[in-house]
Amino acid sequence: MQTTGQGIVNPLNLPILNATGYVTGQDYLDEDHAAAIAENMRANGWQGAPLVVLPEWAISYSGTHRLHAAEAAELEEVPAVNLEDLFEACGLDLEAIVAENDYMVTMHRPEILDHLPHDIRAAYALDDII
């Protein structure tokens, strides 16, 4: 697994985007958990996987707590990778998968992510998307 000098884990070396100001696609937020992450971010900056995002909609596909924590910690940048780039790096065509299965990219997250290899889902913190 590759980690940048800044603590960002990005094993596929995908281009890093700035997701500052993005919204999350999830409704649930544990405020205490997000506050604990924010405290860690203030001390150590961003650590771990970047968010996975849909840049054309400014929506974070993953990392609800990390996104809120980064805002609370006032990080200058929130590292993210494009969902489409992630699929492409795995030899998969996201648009074709969505079309073939009549998925909505914002509504069928678990079904879409199930097409990615398990190790990639784990590396990019997508294992627990429900």
Q: Which tokens in the block code for residue 112? A: 């879409």
Strand order in the sheet with 59-60: 17-18, 79-82, 51-54, 59-60, 23-24
Looking at residue 127, its pLDDT comes to 87
Q: Which residues, including other chains, have CB under 8 Å from residue 130's CB and lie 6 or more apart?
A: 110
**0.75 exceeded by pTM:** yes
Phi then psi for 9, rounded to 5 degrees? -90, 115
Q: Which domains does the chain have, with CATH numbers?
A: 17-123 (3.90.1530)
Looking at residue 26, its pLDDT comes to 78
Residue 77 and residue 74: Cα distance in Å, rounded?
Answer: 9
Tell me if residue 102 falls in helix, strand or coil: coil
Could you tell me which of 65, 61, 77 has the C-alpha nearest to residue 121?
61
Output the tens digit of pLDDT for each of the chain's 130 residues: 344 557 899 999 999 999 999 998 777 889 999 999 999 999 999 999 999 999 999 999 989 999 999 999 999 999 999 999 999 999 999 999 999 999 999 999 999 999 999 999 999 999 887 6
Looking at residue 15, its pLDDT comes to 96
